[in-house]
Structure 1
Amino acid sequence: MSRIRAAAVGAVTVSLALAATACGGGTSSGGGSNDSPKTLTYWASNQGASIQVDKKVLQPELDKFEKQTGIKVKLEVVPWSDLLNRIMAATTSGQGPDVLNIGNTWSASLQATGALLPWDAKQFDKIGGKDRFVDSALGAAGAQGKDPAAVPLYSMSYALYYNKKMFKEAGISKPPATWDELVADGKKLSKDGKWGLAAEGSNLSNNIHQIFILAKQRGADWFTADGKPDFTSAGAVAAVKQYVDFMAKDKIIAPGNAEYAQNQSMSDFSKNKTAMVLWQAAASTFKAQGMSEDEWGIAPAPVQSGTPGTGKQANSMVAGINIAVFKNTKNLDGATKFVKFMTSDAESKLLNKTYGSIPPVKAAQDDPAFSTQATAVLKQTLATSATPLPQVPDESQFETAVGTAVKELFADAAAGKSVTTESVKAALSKAQQSMPNQ
């Protein structure tokens, strides 16, 4: 999703069925953006260490766009905990922006509302053509066989970040490549008030990202071929149990992590309280939190066999942010120009460098900045071993329902309650019963 930066997604309070009947956009609750073709509103997702950081990054670029085009962009950076609900409310009320960022995992769900502008060949030609973008990023821009609902903006993948000093002190010479190695190393590192692995049990999207890959490594998907939820397969249940067992059984995750939400695990890692974290494009966050680049290392996220690849060897979802336009904006020409500007080669290089993500624009990836320690593993993962989350209309409800189930299982583990195959299956069965398309 996302940047999502693996952010917490609140409960979706507006159903997609309702949204489909009242697609919105075009005016802003902040006073309106479409009363003039020289004004746009833009909802940006929180990519940096804070909303203020994002404003400092983006405002000079918006000023640059205004200087080039005469179009002023009114910016609002929306926290991940609010973003999906804000978007869903905008699709029904019409009180939304002209242009917005979406977690790419939501693409098919928001596409199903009909509220977003489809990017057909003619629309893509206005921003330089569809072939400018990496295929894997386009694969997370909407349902297969349909025109994308958005345009890739920032691409990310998961990787394993590790604290070099803590590894050295524990006598560990290299990062783990398999889950068995991760658990063994985590146990060596979990002592003296410090812990081997970080998690964010209350971060619903992060929960989904982790268990999606653990299930994929068992050959399990979360939806059937016809888009119906399939949350209680043996592979899905085993994936959730493995993830929660890092706290419940293996005891390499601190019990307090059950209550962690967005970026709290990153803070612990930066403060040398936790030795490993599975995260997306974390370099800029570490830097903002005072950690120098030589203090941490990065490696591909583990797989069962130790060698990442396709199919059961996938080790990351295709993470990232897409930029979308509300279909009934009164300033479609200006909105299109803004998307063209934000996805231009120059801006793609600049913004992805700043955030430590990978450009989904092919030409921008040639920059040496995307072959550094911080980015080379991410770039390789996206190219060879990442896979999109299910591009189905009910994906956002999946994140909420199953992400909450994992959150509740982490709470049980933190409280010392037993987490069994049966209790995991029961939690996932309850989540499946809450889905609209059973």
Structure 2
Amino acid sequence: SFNASAQEAASVGTDVYGVPWFAGVGALYYNTEMFKEAGVSGPPQTMDELMAVAKKLAKVDAQGRVVRSGVSLRLFGAGSGVAEKFAILMWPRGGELLTRNAQGKYKAGYDNDAGRATLKMHIDAVFVNKVDSLDIKHDAESFELGQTAMFERESWVIGDIQKNAPTLKYQTAAIPRDQRWGTIVGSVSLYTSRSAKNPDVAWDFVKFLTQPQFERQLLQEVGWIPLRQDVNFDPVIAKFPQYKGFLIRDPKYVYWSMPNIKDFDEIETKLAARLVAAYRDATLAGNAAGIANVLHTAAGETNTILKRDGLYGE
């Protein structure tokens, strides 16, 4: 009833400790009126199309300043979020923040073509193609104000739009593909602890919460994505079709997650600081060696952290 990523999040090795409940899932939001205005028939299907469509959707003023972004990228903000959004757009190209070997050890997985292409995409978006800018609003606020045509985010934005921009015309779609196709999942699971005074009652409550009718209620009233794959969510999608982009059931669409290790937040935050600096560095435009150096240096820092705690492995 659950995808592999959700099962892994509730397990340690082959031992299952919990029941996957709901998740933060990434999808692409797009403004349908802006698409129609620009003559774009539908959401981008590939990473190359993402930038090509963004060029058609972006608007600049007489001074060449971006006044409406074609795509709102995570160029600054909370550290973990910056690195996570980078990873979401890198994963289709074959990269990951960390790769894991057969022995359960990790190393940086972004000092490669996938990482370099993704960093170049961000640099080009700001300094070359001008489809995004450091000087305009970003993320959900920008989308709700009609100041961007596309951005990637979780499903909570649907409820936020209902509250703050109820007349906005928009839809959601799968994250564009490249070498592979998929999106991130941040799973929340339900557990009963060994110290529970009434474990049978607790387990009954877990089963109660994960019944199909409450999975549908969770989606409709809260907005997070339930993880049971055997529940029919069509009644909710009929009312809120924007949830469809978060419930892709194509077997080729992979739901993947970040590693659950103690060093990950430190690794992600330190990488994000380097990415934010890079996104502001105009000298990296058209500078393949400079882009490669940013990621190589960052990967060295990532691997040093892993080695410090005995988690590194080729």
Query: Which category of TM-score, normalised to the shorter sequence, fits these structures?
Result: 0.7 to 0.9
For residue 217 of structure 1, what is the aligned residue in structure 2?
92
| 2:283 corresponds to 1:420 | no
Rate the CA distance shift 1:406–1:247 in 2: closer, same or farther, 3 A.
Answer: farther
Amino acid at match of 2:7: G
Cα deviation, residue 178, structure 1? 1.9
- Match in the other structure for 2:47: 179
Report the 3-state secondary structure (helix = DSSP H, G, I; strand = E; otherwise coil) of the residue aligned with 2:104. coil
Give, in angstroms, the shift of residue 426 of structure 1. Answer: 0.9
Query: What whole-Å deviation, never above 9, does each CA across 1:382-413 have from its counterpart, x for those lacking one?
Result: 754023225x552x533441343134322332
SS at match of 2:130: coil
Is the Cα–Cα contact under 8 Å of residues 155 and 358 in structure 1 kept in the other structure?
A: yes
- Shift in CA distance, 235/318, structure 1 to aligned 2, threshold 3 Å: farther
Cα pair 2:5 2:255 within 8 Å, conserved: no
Q: Which moved more, 1:406-415 or 1:182-191?
A: 406-415
Alpha-carbon spacing, 1:324–1:240, altered in 2? closer, same or farther (3 Å): farther
- Tell me by how many angstroms 1:144 deviates: 6.3
Instruction: Provide the rounded CA distance (Å) in 2 between the counterparts of 1:365 and 1:269.
Output: 29
Contact preservation (8 Å) 1:280, 1:319: no
Amino acid at match of 1:373: P
Partner of 2:163: 288
Cα contact 2:107–2:302 (8 A) shared by 1: no
What amino acid is the match of 2:100? T
Q: Out of 254, 261, 264, which is 1:398 matched to? A: 264
Give ranges in structure 2 of 5+ residues lacking alignment.
62-66, 285-289
**More relative contact order in 1 or in 2 (CA 8 Å, sep 6+)?**
2
Partners of 1:291 and 1:140 lie apart in 2 by: 37
Task: Say whether 1:429 aligns with 2:307.
Answer: no
Deviation at 1:272, TM superposition (A): 0.4
1:197-248 deviations in Å (ceiling 9; x for gaps): 1233324444444443444433344223223332154145325514533335
Distance 2:68 2:33 in 1: 13
Q: d(CA) in 2 for partners of 1:171 and 1:364?
A: 36
The 3 A distance-change label for structure 1 pair 405 and 208 is closer
Determine the C-alpha separation between the residues in 1 that align with 2:7 and 2:250: 12
Structure 1 188/403 Cα, relative in aligned 2: closer, same or farther at 3 Å?
Answer: farther
Q: What is the match of residue 89 of structure 1?
A: none
User: How far off its partner does 1:417 sit?
Assistant: 5.2
Q: CA RMSD in A?
A: 3.1
- State the match for 1:227 in structure 2: 104
CA contact (8 A) 1:196 1:275 kept: yes
1:255-404 to 2 correspondences below 5 Å:
255-256=134-135, 265-281=139-155, 282-292=157-167, 295-304=169-178, 312-330=179-197, 332-370=199-237, 373-380=241-248, 383-390=251-258, 392-394=259-261, 397-404=263-270
Kept after mapping to 1: 8 A contact 2:80/2:272: no
Name which of structure 1's ranges 211-220 and 161-170 shifts more when overlaid on structure 2.
211-220
The separation in 2 between residues aligned to 1:399 and 1:386, in whole angstroms, is 23
- Give the one of 212, 233, 237 matched to 2:115: 237
Change (3 A) 1:363 1:315: closer
C-alpha displacement of 1:341:
2.8
Structure 1 residues 314 and 362, CA, compared in 2 at 3 Å: closer, same or farther?
A: closer
Q: Kindly tell me: are residues 403 and 242 of structure 1, through their superposed partners in 2, closer, same or farther at Cα, counting changes over 3 Å? A: farther
The corresponding residue for 1:157 is 25
Q: 1:237 to 1:280 in 2, by over 3 A?
A: same
- 1:351, CA displacement in angstroms? 1.0
The percentage of counterpart residues that share the same residue type is: 22
Structure 1 contact 318–389 (Cα < 8 Å) conserved: yes
> Residues 240 and 171 from structure 1, CA distance in 2 versus in 1: closer, same or farther, beyond 3 angstroms?
closer
Cα distance change on mapping 1:400 and 1:253 into 2, 3 Å: farther
Give the TM-score, by structure 1 length: 0.58
Segments of 5+ residues of structure 1 without an aligned counterpart are 1-132, 305-311
Which residue identity lines up with residue 404 of structure 1 in the other structure?
K
Q: Give the whole-Å Cα distance in 2 for the aligned partners of 1:244 and 1:301.
A: 16
Q: TM-score, normalised by structure 2?
A: 0.77
Aligned equivalents of 1:166, 1:251: Cα separation in 2: 17
